Amino acid sequence: MNKSFTLLVAAALLILAACNRSTVVKKSISHNGDKMVVEVYAKIDGKKLHDYKKEFDVTGMTKEEKDAIAKHVMDSIMPPNEGKE
């Protein structure tokens, strides 16, 4: 993605860490030419919930198609309310 998206994710993670010290969530989406790598690590109350890393071939895909893949993966791994009480 771009630098502003990375900064937004970092800021969200810092806010999340400040709100709930026992929650660790790390998300990363990186592009390298025709490859996109999606990584998610989540630990809540000391219990590892996710440790996911997958590489996708995105040859010829538009930015919107790549974003849709990344969103689908993130939504399927980390539903919006997971880890919230």
Mean pLDDT of 16-38: 79
Please check whether residue 83 lies inside any domain of the structure: no
Domain that holds residue 52: 3-77
* pLDDT band at 13; cut points 50, 70, 90: low
Instruction: Check residue 83 and give its pLDDT.
Output: 46
Instruction: Check residue 6 and give its pLDDT.
Output: 67
Please check whether residue 84 lies inside any domain of the structure: no
Pairwise pLDDT comparison (11 vs 38), residue with the higher score: 38
Residue 80 CA from chain centroid, whole number:
12
State the total domains in the chain.
1
Instruction: Check residue 85 and give its pLDDT.
Output: 46
Mean pLDDT of 27-37: 89
Please check whether residue 85 lies inside any domain of the structure: no
Q: How big is the CA angle at 26 (ends 77 and 80), to the nearest 5 degrees?
A: 40
Supply 61's token pair. 């895909």
Please check whether residue 25 lies inside any domain of the structure: yes
